[in-house]
A and B are shown apart, each in its own frame.
Chain A
């Protein structure tokens, strides 16, 4: 499932980068930036929806979003921008990627939480280390003094 999602995501990124170079006069790193930002938004949405099936998690999160986004091309563009002394573009590339990426992950998380039915809303609690990939923790979830659930599946 991860491989299938990664293949589809990589193809979409290739398409985005190609379309950006063909259709616009912007420098080449903008296409990678767009693919990364789109992947961050989708990753936030997927983490907020918090699918329980490990197959679906692998397909959507590690596979599709992971394949759609890339770090190596971002770092390669950044290194070449620095080597050619294009400092302003390098700063724009880093700033837009990091701030935009984090912002879109948060936006995706909140949108997915807002859209999902009230009883399925995931609670934003610190993620214990080593509790990834759908690990389940015993926690108390509730409003006020009314406990509504005792099991929490890690959304991240």
Chain B
């Protein structure tokens, strides 16, 4: 059942994300925004959102102590959340299993589906190639640098905002 719900979530989320990206792209063209800038904006938005949502989702649903946030240098600020960094001893195994399956379905819908469909790598690659074919090497370099560095920085920004919202300042 979890597997089926996850598959449906990925498909629905992916459809909605791709549709949203299509609308943004079509709105950007008449406004004079070049296509690579529209794709860059959508990708950076997706990166900030995934950084925030991973904190939000794991704080709510991770009860088994296997959170990816444990690897974050400031992950200890989330030590007060039961079950995030170490398994929650107060919870019966059935509840842990339930939280795990909800985490699978919701991360399938939000991460793999919605944000995965919203952001794209293929249009970014095609824009890079088309900019280089047009001899606009500086623009291609700016696009590449902003995408890679901005994407990683966007994720870190989202993570930090999530840690501020859900974490506790360390004593």
Q: Is the pair B155, A44 in contact by a Cβ cutoff of 8 Å?
A: no
> What's the Cα separation between A43 and B120 when bound, in Å?
11
> What's the Cα separation between A5 and B167 when bound, in Å?
38
Say yes or no for A113: interface residue by CB 8 A criterion: no
- Which of B56-64, B78-86, B129-137 lies at the interface? B129-137
Identify B29's interface contact among A40, A130, A156, CB under 8 A. A130
Contact residues of B: prevailing secondary structure? helix
> What is the minimal beta-carbon distance from B154 to any residue of chain A, in angstroms?
7
Say yes or no for B169: interface residue by CB 8 A criterion: no
Q: Is the pair A76, B47 in contact by a Cβ cutoff of 8 Å?
A: yes
Q: Is the pair A65, B152 in contact by a Cβ cutoff of 8 Å?
A: no
Q: Is the pair A69, B122 in contact by a Cβ cutoff of 8 Å?
A: yes
Q: Is the pair A105, B68 in contact by a Cβ cutoff of 8 Å?
A: no
Q: Is the pair B122, A126 in contact by a Cβ cutoff of 8 Å?
A: no
Residue on B nearest A100 in the bound complex, by CB: B125
Pairs A–B under 8 Å by Cβ, sample size 17: A6-B15, A7-B10, A7-B11, A36-B121, A43-B122, A62-B18, A62-B21, A72-B47, A72-B155, A73-B111, A78-B155, A83-B156, A129-B34, A130-B34, A133-B29, A156-B35, A156-B130
